[in-house]
Amino acid sequence: MLSDKEHNRRFFLKSALAVVALAFIGLWDKMLIRHKQINKVNTFTFPLNFDKKISFAENYIIIRSKGNFKVLSSRCTHLGCRINEAINDQLICPCHGSSYDLNGNATKGPATRPLATKKFIIDEKTKTISIKS
C-alpha cells in the first residue's frame, strides 16, 4: 500500500504531466494553423493603367517600359517603409531617402538590397493585373 506522501507525489506528477500535455496540444494546433497561413498565396488584382509608366498599388509598384511590365514590392529593404513616389525614374523611400532604379536595384542608401520582384498576370480583356504575393 502507498503512503499518503507517495500518493500525493504521484498525483502531483500525473497532474503536472497532464497540464504540460494539454499546453503542448494547444500550441501544436496554433503552430499548424500558422504554418498553413504562411504558405497561403494571395492574389491581388488591380485595374491596369496602360498610359502610366509607374503606378503604385497598395504594396506594389507596377512599371511599364517599352510595352513590358514589371512588378516590384513597394517595401523599402532598409526598414520596410512603403515607397510611394518616383522622381526622374527613381523610386524614393519617404522614410530615410533610399532610392531605387526601375529594376528595383538600390541606387542610394541606406538601403543596399534590391526590391523584391513579384509574379503577375495581365488580362488584356479586362485590363487588369493580378499580382501573387
At 89, the amino acid letter reads D
Q: Say which CATH topology domain 43-132 has.
A: Rieske Iron-sulfur Protein (2.102.10)
For the question of whether the overall pTM of this predicted structure is more than 0.85, the answer is no
The pLDDT tens digits of the residues spanning 81-96 come to 999 999 999 999 999 9
The pLDDT tens digits of the residues spanning 48-88 come to 776 788 988 888 998 988 878 899 999 999 988 999 999 99
Distance (Å) of CA 95 to CA 78, 83, 101, 110, 119: 10, 9, 17, 10, 26
Q: How confident is the model at residue 17 (pLDDT cuts 50, 70, 90)?
A: confident
Q: What is the pLDDT of residue 89?
A: 92
Per the listing, cell 497532474 goes with 15
Distance (Å) of CA 85 to CA 17, 72, 88: 57, 13, 10
Q: What is the pLDDT of residue 86?
A: 93
